[in-house]
Each structure stands twice: as C-alpha cells, then as structure tokens.
Amino acid sequence: MIKILCTVALSVASLYYGQNYPISAIPENLKKNASVVIRKENTAVEINKVDDVVYKKTSVVTILNKDAIPYSIPKISYEKGDNVSNVKVVVYDEKGAKIKSYSKSDFTDIAANPQGSFYSDSRMLILPFTSSSFPYTVEFSYELNDENTVFIPDFVPFYEYNVSLEESNYSIINKSGINLRSKVYESPFNYTSVIISSNGENKSYVYKNIPAIDSGQLVPTPQKVLPKVSFSLDKFNLEGKQGSIASWKDFGIWYYQNLLTPVSISTPQIKAEIASLNLSGTTEEKVKKIYQHMQNKTRYIFVALGIGGWQPMLPDEVQKKGYGDCKGLTNYMKTLLGEAGIDSYYSIINSNPSPINFDKDFPKMAGNHVILTIPTEKGNIWLENTSQQIAFNHLSYSTTDRNVLTVKPDGIDILQTPSYSAEENKEKQVLNIQINPDKTIIGKGKFSYSGMQYDFNLMYLMLSEKEKTDVMKKVYTTLDFENIEMKEFQNDKDLAIINFDLDFKALNFSKLIGNSLIFRAVPIYKDGIYHEDPTRELPFENKFSYQDESEITYDLPLDYFVEEMPQSGNITSEFGTYKLSFEKQNNKLVVKRHVQINKGLYPKEKYNDYVSFRKKIINADNSKILISKKS
C-alpha cells in the first residue's frame, strides 16, 4: 500500500500543562459507548513557504478501558530529515493526579514498517508505556518541522468507533503566499458540525462535545458520519520535487513526470521475459497471460522508499527480487504490458471496506493503494497486482464501487471502478442430507462463491486443513458438527469463482417425538442476531448487495414419510427478498431457498423495519418439518 503521511498527530504546542483531568469532569453523554475520550486537542499548522511547514499539537486523551490501550500509546510518525522537538508526556490517574512524566529521551526510535514491509524511510518515535489500571489520562505534545507540504492533514473529530470528543481546535496560519484551498464536508446526518472563525489568512476550526459512535449493527464508518475539513496548497513540495495541485490536470502531469517517468524503464531482460510468453489472441487474452505470469513470480512486500514513499520501485528490481509493494508491482505489470504493446495506466485509489471517493472538485494528494487500468474495446480491465491468488480482472470489496485517479501523461482522469450486482455477489449451496432416526444427519455439500463472496473465501487458501475445519464450525454455528471436512477446494482465477465440497456429520439435528422426527427447514446458514433499537441515533448501511441460494435434498429414513411441512412463501421489502419452497419427491424432500439483500444506506427510522425483515427470514429458515414412521 502507498505510505500515508499525516492524519494522526503531527505536532505540538503545550497549552494545557499545569491542568489536571479528573474522570469525573467528563460529561456522561461522552462516556456512553466510549473506550476513549479526547478531552482537549489543539493542532496548529504554520505554513512558512513551499518547503517549510510546522505542525504543533497537544492532545489530552482519557483511556476508559483496556480496549483503548493502543490509542493511549504516545507515538510520532516522521520521515528522515524531519525535526521532532518539544516532546512531552504526562500521565494522570482517575482523579487527575499526576503519575509520571516523560520526555523525548524516553521514546524508542524504530522503523515504522507496516505489516509485510521490508524497506522503509518511515520512522516512529514510540513511548513503551502501558498502565494496568483504568481509567487514566495521557497528555501528549510535540512539534514537527517538515519540508513536505503536499500533505496538509484533514481536520476530522476522530477516525474510529467508540471514541468521543470534548473539544478539538485546529488553526492554520499560511505565511507562504501560496493559495491555500479549504473545503468543509458537513455531516450528512447532522451528527455534529465544525465551528469556523477567520482572521485574514488565518483560520480556526473547532469541534465540541461529540458522542462516540458505537460499532453496533450496520453502523456506517465514522468517516461517513462525521464532518471533515480538507486543505491543499496550490503549490507544494515533496522530497525536493515542487509542483502544482491547483487542478487534477496539473497534479497528474507532475505525478507522471516526477514519480512515474523516472521508474518507467524497461530492460533487455524484461523484453526477453515478454518474448518468452509467446503471446497471441485478443488484448484480453494477452493481458490475462501476462498477469497470471506476474502473479506466479512475485509476492507483496511493502516498500516505502523513493520521493516520500510515493514512487514505485524500478521494474527490473521487482523482476530480479520477485517482490514489491502495490506501487512496484503495478509499475512492473505496466512495464510488461508496455513491452507487449498494450497501454495501461497507474491508478490511485482509496482501499477501504466502505467506499471513499476522491472529490472531483477538490484536487488533493490522497489515496492509500494503487491498481492498474487497461482500456480495451470491451471496456476497462482492472488489475489488483498485490495478490498471488485473486482472479484476473477482479477487484475486491475494498476497491470496487469508487473512483480512482488514473495518471496519464496529460493529467489525471477520474474513473469509476466496477460495482458488482447482488446476482454477481453470490453463494450457491447444493446439499444432500441423510436424516437418521438417531437424530443425526450425514451431509454432502457443494459450495460456490462469486463476486465479493469470492473475496471473503480466498482466506481458505492460506489455512491448514485443521484451520479450515475450525473456521467452518465457527461460520456455520447452526449445526452441532461431530465431524466436518472441506474437500476439492478450487480457486477459479479465470471466472473469479471459489468452489469446494463439504462432508459432515451433525448431532441432534432432529427432535424425536414418539415415532416422529421434527427438524428445521434450512440446515446451514449464517446465523445472525437482530434487536430492535427504538433510540437508534444513526442510519444503517448494507455495504454491498448479495444473493444466497440453497437447494437442499433430504433423504428420509426407511419407512418414514413427510407428515407436515411449511407452506412455500415469499418475503419482499425494500431491503431485499426471500423465497422458500418445498417439494416432495418419493422418499425425498427438496427445499429451495433464495435470499437477496440490497445494498443501501437507510435512515435510522427504518432500522426496526429492517430488523423485522431479517427476523422473518430467520423464522422461515427455522420453520419445522415433521416426518413420521409408517405404521
């Protein structure tokens, strides 16, 4: 992934030392659903010139329970060449009494390498502090001088669930003479708002008294609920490279010339690599062969070197070493395609479970991932280059249904990635189940997954047989498995479909009543718990549409017949549809189930209607079938 510089704390001016912070002073509404309370936060940004910005920050954070320990650890991300100073930390107990203080000399300086990273210029100062008693409060301040002015951080109340805020102040002083653009994005749900004041070129922004957002059922991410203020200088510096971001066109030209052109260099070895593939057929067939060749010889490792971590590795380095990050692997794939005479474009994206888009009207350095776009007569081909397992021309749930910055020699095109329909995001089950008089069942199942449900099942490729079994038991809690075995696992990388078989035996599936057995209509489904919430304060979101289809054939025990079974029926709502049908076939009973859940962001007033819809589905799945022994 692209290295992101900024949004966490970036500076300091200690305005609050000498105060204490008793827990009793926190308003009760800010304790609700909170593991962390931001008591006081002050960020001052001083832009002195195109290559000189100073961040000063003080934060006072109360940690209410152990879930918030990671939030309390003081840390400062910085780059080689940055100057970090005036570092101070004071820890207070529940009553606001000072426990201990720390300075910069108490911090450990480490390489700030994300998971899987290998090379990085990123550093982190971190204070190895933990507390065994709760609650407590950490006051933390520092100052950071940075020559990179392309990243002016957004002002957001907080980024995570279960965090509340008393007061946060953000001031920005522009002494550079360069135009500084700003844009306020209001909360679409009126959850809170920002207070703005200005004095000439200087502006101040304040958030006050914002309750925590609980990570409850279907709650949108805080980024979708909260307001934010974005900033961007029209001219900027990045590791000595100055440019313009007054328009997406200007920024794209700078990006192409300064970050991509210097590393868009082929070699005789890369030319020979393409020649060895003996390509033929359509553009799509050629791209697929090159892509699957690249997947088979490379692996993902994060690399944050080269112009602030934003420049890709040279393609010959990736070829020789067999690894790279999203930037390097995408650039390598782009170079391979170029040698085959196929145009492709480096595309910057926000990779998140819930789509985050670039603002077409507000050019700003952003994004945390890179993919590749290949235009063809049949439409764009999209390549995720960091996975050895993902299918050709398939984007995962974290990169679909959002826009990308596609970098071209003459600027940036903002394009939309595909959005998969419910029918494309599909699970298909075909089950044959033997009902036994001893209340057990023996089952054989064939499972198939496509679209985003394909993404969620790729993880099985990394698991041992025992781990697969353990996961199956956790996923399908509706059965009491005595044994279960996943077999014939297949990742179809041409069609983006995962298939596998499941053999199992489950106990206590039926209930014995005299000479009869009673059991539920649907044996295997993902269970859910849904509760009405009359005081719900936020909308709810189904992040993607999907379909689940099941065909269940029950083989009845010898000399048994179906005495009672539910009526076939449908449930229809704006949230989706459900169908359940029953058919007798000699000594068998065939049950067919179809569920479709619609993607959507719904108002809070409809939440209880949604709960009612899901409960009706659960009740139908649990409707009972009665079989009896022939007399």
Domain over 21-235 is classified CATH 3.30.70.270: no
Percentage of the chain lying above the pLDDT 90 cut:
81
pLDDT average, residue stretch 374-402: 95
Model confidence at 1, in pLDDT bands (50, 70, 90)? very low
Contacts of 282 (CB under 8 A, 6+ apart): none
Confidence category of residue 121, pLDDT binned at 50, 70, 90 = low
Task: Tell me, rounded to whole angstroms, the distance of Cα 434 from its chain centroid.
Answer: 41
* pLDDT tens-digit map of 403-426: 999 999 999 999 999 999 999 999
Q: Could you tell me if 595 and 612 are in contact, meaning their C-beta atoms sit under 8 angstroms apart?
A: no
DSSP line for 89-101: EEEE-TTS-EEEE
The first and second tokens of residue 616, run together, are: 């009706």
Looking at per-residue pLDDT, the higher value among 289 and 121 belongs to: 289
10 has pLDDT over 50: no
Tokens standing for 317? Answer: 């380095």
Q: Distance between CA atoms of 43 and 520, rounded to whole angstroms?
A: 59
CATH 2.60.120.1130 fits 422-629, yes or no: yes
Q: Which residue in the block uniquely carries the two structure tokens 């500076």?
A: 11
Residues 514-536: what's their mean pLDDT?
A: 89
Q: What tens digit of pLDDT does each residue of 333-364 get?
A: 999 999 999 999 999 999 988 889 999 999 99
Q: Where are the domains of the chain?
A: 21-235, 247-416, 422-629
Least Cα distance to 70 among 201, 160, 192, 147 occurs for 160
Residue that is written with structure tokens 């200005």 in the block: 198
The identity of residue 550, as a single letter, is S
pLDDT in tens, 267-279: 999 999 999 999 9
268 Cβ contact partners less than 8 Å away, ≥ 6 residues apart: none
Confidence of residue 124 (pLDDT cuts 50, 70, 90): confident
Count other C-beta atoms under 10 Å from residue 515's C-beta. Answer: 13
Half-sphere exposure of 352 (CA within 13 A, CB side): 19
Structure tokens at 288: 């697929």
CATH number assigned to the domain with residue range 247-416, chosen from the 4 options 3.10.620.30, 3.40.640.10, 3.30.565.10, 3.30.750.210: 3.10.620.30
β-pairing, 36-49 with 163-174? parallel
Q: Tell me, what DSSP letter sits at residue 485?
A: E
Q: What is the pLDDT of residues 443-500, one digit of tens each?
A: 999 999 999 999 999 999 999 988 998 998 888 888 999 999 999 999 999 999 999 9
Q: Where are the alpha helices (DSSP H) in 352-500?
A: 452-457, 465-475
Mean of all residue pLDDT scores within the chain: 91
Average pLDDT over residues 161-188: 96
Residue 492 confidence (pLDDT): 96
Residue 390 has pLDDT above 60, yes or no: yes
Distances (CA, A) of 25 to 188, 254, 399: 30, 51, 43
